[in-house]
Amino acid sequence: MGISLLTVSYLVASVTYILGLKMLSNPATARRGNQIAAGGMTIAILATIFLYEDEGHGLHNYVWIFAGLLIGSVVGTLAAKKVKMTAMPQMVSLFNGMGGACAALISIIEFNHLTHNSDGTAEYFASLEGVNLLIIFAGLIIGSVSFAGSMIAWGKLDGRIKDHAFKGQHIVNLLFIGISVALAAFIIIARPVETPIYFYVILALSLIYGVFFVLPIGGADMPVVISLLNSFTGVAAACGGFLYDNKAMLTGGILVGAAGTLLTILMCRAMNRSLTNVLIGSFGGGATAGGGAGKAQGSYKEITLSDAAVVMSYANKVMIVPGYGLAVAQAQHTCHELEKLLTEKGVEVKYAIHPVAGRMPGHMNVLLAEADVSYDKLEEMEQANEEFATTDVVLILGANDVVNPAAKTDPSSPIYGMPILDVELAKTVIINKRSMKPGYAGIDNDLFFRPKASMLFGDSKKVLQDLIGEVKNL
């Protein structure tokens, strides 16, 4: 009875994951979809705790299980509730790393379980089931890579870790992962007595690989990496499904593995790049960025606050291009205020949203939604590019790489080929930045030196507040 109820629970859970993912891909049903999947997950977890049986024995160590669930739930909820919307990508990366670590730990414990009861002889190791070992190793390698990589991705997005790359790093990387896989294969085929030692060597190599795999990749490409690692963790979870003959883990894991891989490709496509280009192309990207630095010299104009206020108040149409700088300054609400004020004065105000504005695709939409900006004011890139020609003023708020003309003109630029917002089609471009420092991708922007452009330095929020004051005084 208990076991069949468990099977039914897992079936229900699997269906909710599929339904949840399906609904998450549609704006109208997304939230419900997430809640349905969460409900299914709760059922699966509770059913496992109370109904799971192995050869007639239920689970024990309930105190530990509940303590772990409680700690995880409290910390997880607090972290998820407290995190600023701007720091969202880091958070997702961190949670993903936790899942990867969990999968790797399961493999470690299962392996430890195998050796715990062993007499350490070659006969014992030879008697182990090969496919089981294969699954344990797969979970270990994929889980550790996902964990280590996610931690680095988190550190990078949080500004704690800088890009590091050295010559031939991708060859060294291939060596790390190649040796891990070869060692695992060697153990499965030859069953040496030193198996336990090799096991931990594989663990160490996978962790190092995870670190070196993500380290050289530029911050702007981090969302793609997180999405990829996300699908890795899915596959690692599915390994657990094979290990325990557990259908809920299997469906959930593989579903995310497949969907995550597609999502990774979709994200690359939004940036008009291939996955290989993102992963391998970044090596030596530092050198290109350095070379570009000398070129974009020249003089830029500054515009005063009152001039900017006048230009915008008497314009017919203003397009706001928000970027990560706006989000960091927490200025989305102030920006919405300026938009309302200008609209009252009869100016048509719209937002031009680049698909990768912010730190992740769709991130900027989340941030503006938080500030109550209405949907119909948000223009996607293609629409916006058609409208720039009839726009009087473009106000760029803390965006940089998404308006960099080098993406179109300079084949040596790391962002070459990425579609950009053609702000230069408009009559005037006002750029708000904190300083002349290059943007997140670390490359200079020729736009700032163009005749149509003028700079308005300062923190986005402060500048917007002052602008509102000036517009009111007109």
Nearer CB in complex with other proteins: 128/181: 128
307 as an active site residue: the answer is no
Minimum distance from residue 146 beta carbon to other proteins (Å):
10
- Which residues have CB under 8 Å from 34's CB, separation 6+? 20, 23, 24
Q: Which is nearer to other proteins, 83 or 328 (CB)?
A: 83
**With respect to other proteins, which residue has the nearer C-beta, 206 or 454?**
206
Tokens of 301: 């104009």
Binding mask 67-96 for other proteins (x = CB under 8 A): xxx-xxx-xxx-xxx-x-x--xx-xx-xxx
Instruction: Mark 382-421 with x for binding to other proteins (rule: CB under 8 A) and - for no binding.
Output: ----------------------------------------
> Which of the ranges 207-215, 226-234, 402-410, 454-462 carries the binding residues for other proteins, by CB under 8 A?
226-234
Contact string (CB under 8 A) for other proteins, positions 320-359, x = contact:
-----------------------------------x----
- Under the binding rule (CB under 8 A), the answer on residue 12 touching other proteins is no
The helix or strand, by DSSP H or E, that contains position 428, with its residue range, turns out to be strand 428-433
List, in sequence order, the alpha helices (H) in 166-301: 169-190, 195-214, 222-243, 247-270, 275-279, 285-293
d(CA 337, CA 190): 69
Asked if residue 139 lies in contact with residue 106, where contact means CB atoms within 8 angstroms, the answer is yes
Contacts of residue 450, defined as CB under 8 A and 6 or more positions apart, other chains included, come to 405, 424, 429
Stretch that binds other proteins, among 248-256, 278-286, 420-428, 437-445 (CB under 8 A): 248-256
- Of the residues 401, 410, 422, 446, only one is catalytic, namely 401
CB of 338 to other proteins, least distance (A): 19
**The 428-433 sheet, strands edge to edge:** 378-380, 348-353, 317-322, 393-397, 428-433, 453-457
Integer Cα distance of 463 and 338 in angstroms: 11
Q: How far is the CB of 4 from other proteins (least distance, A)?
A: 16
Q: Dig out the tokens for 62 from the structure.
A: 């309930």
Q: What share of the chain is helix, strand, coil (3-state, %, to 5)?
A: 65, 5, 25
| One of 60, 159, 298, 344 touching other proteins (CB under 8 A) | 60
Member of 12, 24, 43, 181 binding other proteins (CB under 8 A): 24
Q: Within 89-128, which residues bind other proteins (CB under 8 A)?
A: 89, 91-92, 94-96, 98-99, 101-103, 105-106, 108-110, 112-113, 116
Cα 31 to Cα 223, 267, 283, 296, 359: the distances in Å are 21, 21, 38, 45, 21
Using CB under 8 A, pick the residue from 363, 440, 444, 453 that binds other proteins. 363
Question: Binding of other proteins at residue 361 (CB under 8 A)?
Answer: yes
Going along 334-392, which residue ranges are E strands? 348-353, 378-380
Chain centroid offset of residue 341 CA: 35
For other proteins, which stretch binds (CB under 8 A), given 13-21, 151-159, 179-187, 437-445?
Answer: 13-21
Determine the size of the site formed for other proteins (CB under 8 A): 119
Catalytic residue annotation: 401
